[in-house]
Amino acid sequence: MAVLAIGGSGRGVGKTAVGCALIAALPELRWTAVKISPHEHGLPAVWEETDRSSAKDSGRYLAAGAERAFLVRGDAEAELAGLAGTGALLVESNRRLSGALFLAVLAGHEASWKPSMRERVAEADALVLTGGMTVAELPEVLRGKPVFDLAAGEWLTPRLLRFVGERLHPRPWRR
């Protein structure tokens, strides 16, 4: 099963937007999207979104083309294995998942990043820069990783799509 993990340096940096763009661009992967949250939200530990028009991140994933979308409380991560079905799994979390392609969506100065991202950013397979962040602002330890700069309002580039497609697609990549 193809697994894509998308983490980010903070709220509003574009984690969900990048995930939605990839789901829409790769519908043949038959996505299940999971947002892992440390907050309870007044919902069960594993909650399935069914409303494609919902403004919640889980609804945005459905609107982008995910077959299913879930909100999972951080202490219920063990439930992930049973959620994916037969398609690809997109997990929005700053945790590195075994066997997953891990994208770090970054904006702002490193000192302002969530501690969970500062601790794990070196594990990222690629960096997606948003909010005007530049390669020159990256910590030295991240230099040399694949970097994808996104302009304001842009959530996917052909290079980023090719990078993800080549690593997750079950057949030879041909776009």
**pLDDT band of 29, cuts 50, 70, 90:** very high
Q: Which long-range contacts (CB under 8 A, 24 or more apart) does 81-86 make?
A: 83/32, 83/34, 83/46, 84/1, 84/3, 84/32, 85/30, 85/32, 86/1, 86/30
Backbone region of residue 18 per phi and psi (left: phi > 0; alpha: psi in -120 to 50; beta: other values): alpha
Angle, helices 15-25/158-168, rounded to nearest 10 degrees: 70
Q: What is the pLDDT of residues 121-171, one digit of tens each?
A: 999 999 999 999 999 999 999 989 999 999 999 999 999 999 999 999 866
Asked whether residue 1 carries a pLDDT value surpassing 90, the answer given is no
What is the per-residue pLDDT for 68? 93
CA–CA distances in Å: residue 158 to residues 8, 59, 161: 21, 25, 5
Measured between alpha carbons, how far is 126 from 142 in angstroms, rounded to an integer? 9
Residue whose structure tokens are 């892992």: 36
CATH of domain 3-168: 3.40.50.300
Q: What is the pLDDT of residues 82-122, one digit of tens each?
A: 776 778 999 999 887 888 999 999 999 999 999 999 999 99
pLDDT mean across residues, the chain: 89
Residue whose structure tokens are 């594993």: 46
Q: Which residues lie closer than 8 Å to 58 by C-beta, 6 or more apart?
A: 33, 35, 49, 69, 70, 71
What is the per-residue pLDDT for 143? 87
In the predicted model, what is the mean pLDDT of residues 36-49? Answer: 78
Asked whether residue 65 carries a pLDDT value surpassing 90, the answer given is yes
Asked whether residue 72 carries a pLDDT value surpassing 90, the answer given is no
